[in-house]
Amino acid sequence: MNNEKIIEQLKTMLEPTQINTNSEDLYDASADRYKKYAKARNVLDVPAPLAIVYPYTPEQVRDLLVFCNTNLINVIPRAGKTATEGGLENWKEQTLVIDALHLDSIINIDTYNMQATVQAGVPLQVLEDALRKEGFTTGHSPQSKPVAKLGGLVATRSIGQFSTLYGAIEDMVVGLECVFPDGHISKIKNVPRRSGGPDIRHIAIGNEGTLCYITEVTVKMFKIYPENNKFYGYLIKDVDTGIKILREVMANGFRPSVARTYSEEDAAQHFYHFHKNKCVLLFMAEGPKGIVKATGEAIEQAVEKFKDGIIEQVDSKHIENWFNNLNWSQQDIDDEFEGMKEHDSHSGFTTEISADWSTITKIYYNVMKRVKEEYPRFHDLTMLGGHSSHSYINGTNMYFVYNYDIHCAPEDEMRVYHHPMQRIIVEETLRLGGSMCHHHGIGKFRNEWTKQEHGSAYYMLEKLKEAFDPNGIMNFGTIFPQEEGKKYQ
Amino acid sequence: MNIICLVKFVPDITGFGYDYEASSMVRNHTRMVLNPDDVCALSFAFKVKERHPDSQIQVVSMGPTTVVPHMHDLLRIPVDKGTLISDPLFAGSDTYATSEVLGSYLKTQSFDCILSGSRSLDGATSQVPPQIAEILSLDHMLDISEIDVEKISPTEAVFSVEGERETTTWSMQLPGVLSLGRSSTCKLPYPSYADLQRDVSDKLTILTNKELGLDPSHVGLEGSLTKVVNTYDANSRRRAKTVVETNEEGIEFVFSYLKDRGFV
Ligand SMILES: Cc1cc2nc3c(=O)[nH]c(=O)nc-3n(C[C@H](O)[C@H](O)[C@H](O)COP(=O)(O)OP(=O)(O)OC[C@H]3O[C@@H](n4cnc5c(N)ncnc54)[C@H](O)[C@@H]3O)c2cc1C
């Protein structure tokens, strides 16, 4: 079917206001934040989608998916547009972006059963504000909270800053509704638990728009006690000390909402007012008074146990203030984009990985060593460091952060700077048995390692794709490697 | 035109901290960048080359061999020829000894014009370019804000110098030494993706004193007429800290602070 015909057909299915073919919006829709520098410089090398469509109901999503499936048109599901790994980048000449803009209702806030049901296009901040009015929280607080929407947050297996207490999105979703390319609408009911075979929520959670379109989500709610919050901060000798203290607190059975260790370099850019060129360890304890007290004591005991690595305690006000200003608004995102039009530099690029306690620092130090020895643009790096910000009973994550000056054409930035850096991080992580993607998803630029990430279990992932998206119309190139897409990588 | 650009790679001070207690700069994130004024000089050389494609640009730098990757980057833009003057004997040279070393090499070269920055980020004395002009018996001008690319020829350059009150326009007979001031609008061309991988080592000559043959007592610390007694970060003065809230009052405070200093 040719492009005109596709648009004509869409007009028979939707109102004119639900179909956007504005060229600027299509250019914007052709890539996400992965290629934001090239996008800002107007040199994107990928095709623009044919249209962005805004369905009002799950049934309209169904009709659109069936239409695309029948005519082999690529579909990119879209929510808050904060994707960082190329999940929203388009690699096909004929693509429809299905945007959750009008799937924006909060369906139910059930304070007795402690669960809230929303459509996929509800911004997390909107739900959080509604819950706060009633004294509750979703417990989910990614830095992109003001902008990201529930559909995207579930589709990427996102994680929030208070995850060590509340868990990540997969711990919060109790049920959901999703639509498959053949038009089938599945609703997974909201129950506290069940043993009805494999947990099918996980087919939708983290699918990154490659298997189904999520239209509705039910998440848990938690009581909030902001008046009890306690903050702890320390300057420490090295990353090792920080990781050991995080482990001590977790292994002893405590769950601070925030538990983080920063390398000197990363600490210097976050905590300019107190870092003194040292590593930083910080915690936040929240919840009912007794829990906060017990958690605080456990933190202090762990710090005492490793006191040889502690340089000094930091005023807890500094930590509290820092947390209160951490999230990114749409304005911050827009300002960064504008800045990229002028400045030949990139700040805050990241690759996030995870591993067990005994492996995480090995990965960290190996990466630092390899980057220094092998990275061809080392002399352009203005910062390289990392932090651990999400801990579990058996391990933690490492968020590598790097800034660099750009001395190449804007369209080459990713393959000259970020990708070679990411390659070193991913290779070291996979070699030592960690996961190459802790919370941003695989997107389109880590797909060359998807098979290695899953090993023999890739079989299961591949079968899901074959079963639910046999025509391969869902988000071509995301998660699953594609030969045809390599030219854009 | 046959242009020589004198460039220096300097520590990137944006990565420095300042330790107030020890009154010293914390250089643990030190990396080298092309001196910003020199970016303007080189960027002008490329403008000339754009107009007159047969122009030749040679970049000459004196420094440690750790700057070789940076020199290679310039050769990939592409600068036609690179010369790095590097010898442990030259370490510790003051501006006088540095000018002697650079001058001895430049005497062996033919050129229409030498371009340089006006001052370096790490020293900011502005002494090297005029001393080199003196050694070569050429005219020199400092703090040039703009050279007229349409009027430059192998025998003459027309350029502006921005003073505190007015901008003056000058012309100078070439060959001569022209030193440009920093401007945020100066940009160097990008190397292409293919060029980034290209081996350019054959375009870079590394010269030691073996080739230059200077008297060792005239270079390095020994040959220096001046000694550095103390270094400080010109921007790092301890100031009283004022913390404001994000309310009307706070916004007003920050706004008038910036306004008083001419930032808005
Ligand atoms: C400043 C900033 C801070 C960030 N901080 C964090 C953080 O702290 N933690 C974290 O986990 N992530 C973070 N991220 C990454 C990003 O916010 C998350 O990946 C988020 O989950 C994406 O949600 P979104 O609504 O913006 O989705 P989008 O960007 O619109 O889409 C993301 C992916 O999900 C798919 N998708 C979107 N909607 C649907 C749907 N309805 N059905 C099926 N698939 C869909 C898309 O196709 C795409 O592959 C940050 C990003 C930014 C820009």
Which of A204, A223, A242 is the last residue before a domain boundary?
A223
Q: What is the ipTM metric for this complex? A: 0.71
Query: What are the extents of the domains in chain B?
Result: 2-223
Q: How confident is the model at residue B261 (pLDDT cuts 50, 70, 90)?
A: confident
Please give the Cα distance from A256 to A391 (Å, whole number). 10
Q: How confident is the model at residue B180 (pLDDT cuts 50, 70, 90)?
A: very high
The verdict on the CB of residue A149 being under 6 Å from ligand 1 is yes
Query: Using CB atoms, which residue from B12, B17, B73 is nearest to A407?
Result: B73
Of A62, A68, A78, A186, the residue with max ligand 1 atoms within 8 A of its CB, to mutate for a pocket test, comes to: A78
- What is the structure's pLDDT at B15? 57
Cα-Cα-Cα-Cα torsion A441, A446, A451, A457, nearest 10 degrees, comes to -10
Q: Token pair of A126, please?
A: 């909107």
The verdict on the CB of residue A76 being under 6 Å from ligand 1 is yes
The verdict on the CB of residue A92 being under 6 Å from ligand 1 is no
The verdict on the CB of residue A217 being under 6 Å from ligand 1 is no
- Which residues in A lie closer than 8 A to residue B64 (C-beta atoms)? none
- Same domain for A210 and A242, yes or no, is no
DSSP-based three-state secondary structure for A487: helix
- Same domain for A86 and A126, yes or no, is no
Q: Does A405 sit within 8 Å of B33, measured CB to CB? A: yes
Cβ neighbour number for residue B150 with a 10 Å cutoff: 7
- Number of domains chain A contains: 3
Q: Is the pLDDT of residue B237 over 60?
A: no
- Same domain for A64 and A115, yes or no, is no
Residue B263, chain A, CB below 8 Å: the answer is no
Is A164 in contact with A43 (CB distance < 8 Å)?
no
Strands B113-117 and B2-7: parallel
CATH code: domain of residue A60: 3.30.43.10
- Which residues in A lie closer than 8 A to residue B192 (C-beta atoms)? 409, 412
Which of A302, A324, A346 is the last residue before a domain boundary?
A324
Contacts (Cβ under 8 Å, ≥6 apart) of B22? none
DSSP-based three-state secondary structure for A329: coil
Query: Using CB atoms, which residue from B15, B73, B192 is nearest to A409?
Result: B192
Cis peptide before B88 (omega within 30 of 0): no
- What is the structure's pLDDT at B246? 82
* Interface probe with A: pick from B25, B31, B76, most Cβ of A within 10 Å: B31
What is the Cα Rg of chain A in Å? 22
- Write the pLDDT tens digit of every residue in B88-124: 999 988 999 999 999 999 999 999 999 999 998 887 7
- Same domain for A146 and A59, yes or no, is no
CA distances from A89 to A57, A94, A350, A352, A413 (A): 25, 13, 18, 20, 16
Q: What is the share, in percent, of chain B residues with pLDDT greater than 90?
A: 61
Residue A264, chain B, CB below 8 Å: the answer is yes
- Same domain for A115 and A210, yes or no, is yes
B194-199: long-range contacts, CB 8 A cutoff, minimum separation 24: B195/B76, B195/B78, B196/A408, B196/A412, B196/A416, B196/B76, B198/B76
- Same domain for A234 and A154, yes or no, is no
Per-residue pLDDT of chain A (489 residues; tens, 9 = 90+): 899 999 999 999 999 999 999 999 999 999 999 999 999 999 999 999 999 999 999 999 999 999 999 999 999 999 999 999 999 999 999 999 999 999 999 999 999 999 999 999 999 999 999 999 999 999 999 999 999 999 999 999 999 999 999 999 999 999 999 999 999 999 999 999 999 999 999 999 999 999 999 999 999 999 999 999 999 999 999 999 999 999 999 999 999 999 999 999 999 988 888 889 999 999 999 999 999 999 999 999 999 999 999 999 999 999 998 888 777 888 888 888 888 888 888 777 899 999 999 999 999 999 999 999 999 899 889 899 999 999 999 999 999 999 998 999 999 999 999 999 999 999 999 999 999 999 999 999 999 999 999 999 999 999 999 999 999 999 999 999 999 999 999
- Write the pLDDT tens digit of every residue in B30-44: 678 899 999 999 999
Q: Over range B70-80, report the average pLDDT.
A: 95
Q: Is the pLDDT of residue B28 over 70?
A: no
- Same domain for A210 and A307, yes or no, is no
- What is the structure's pLDDT at B240? 63
Q: Alpha helices of A14-160 — where are they, by DSSP H? A: 23-29, 36-40, 58-71, 124-133, 150-155
Query: Using CB atoms, which residue from A344, A405, A409 is nearest to B193?
Result: A409
- What is the structure's pLDDT at B16? 53
The verdict on the CB of residue A152 being under 6 Å from ligand 1 is yes
The verdict on the CB of residue A478 being under 6 Å from ligand 1 is yes
Q: Over range B237-253, report the average pLDDT.
A: 78
Q: In Å, how far is B138's CA from the nearest CA of chain A? A: 34
Helix-helix angle A357-374:A239-251, to 10 degrees:
160
CATH code: domain of residue A235: 3.30.70.3450
- Residue A383 counted as domain residue: no
Q: Does A408 sit within 8 Å of B191, measured CB to CB? A: yes
| Dist. CA A85 → ligand 1 center (Å) | 9
Please give the Cα distance from A354 to A425 (Å, whole number). 11
Full domain range(s) for residue A81: 3-101+465-488
- Same domain for A176 and A233, yes or no, is no
Q: Does A379 sit within 8 Å of B12, measured CB to CB? A: no
- Same domain for A147 and A204, yes or no, is yes
DSSP conformation letters of B4-40 = EEEE-EEE-GGG-EEETTTTEEE-TT--EEE-HHHHH
- By C-alpha distance, the chain B residue nearest A403 is B15
Residue A329, chain B, CB below 8 Å: the answer is no
Q: How confident is the model at residue B18 (pLDDT cuts 50, 70, 90)?
A: low
User: Which CATH superfamily, name and number, covers B2-223?
Assistant: HUPs (3.40.50.620)
- Residue A124 counted as domain residue: yes
Residue B193, chain A, CB below 8 Å: the answer is yes
Q: Does B73 sit within 8 Å of A408, measured CB to CB? A: no
Q: Over range B212-235, report the average pLDDT.
A: 83
**pTM for this model (two decimals):** 0.88
Which of A272, A307, A324 is the last residue before a domain boundary?
A324
Q: Over range B210-227, report the average pLDDT.
A: 91
- Same domain for A63 and A74, yes or no, is yes
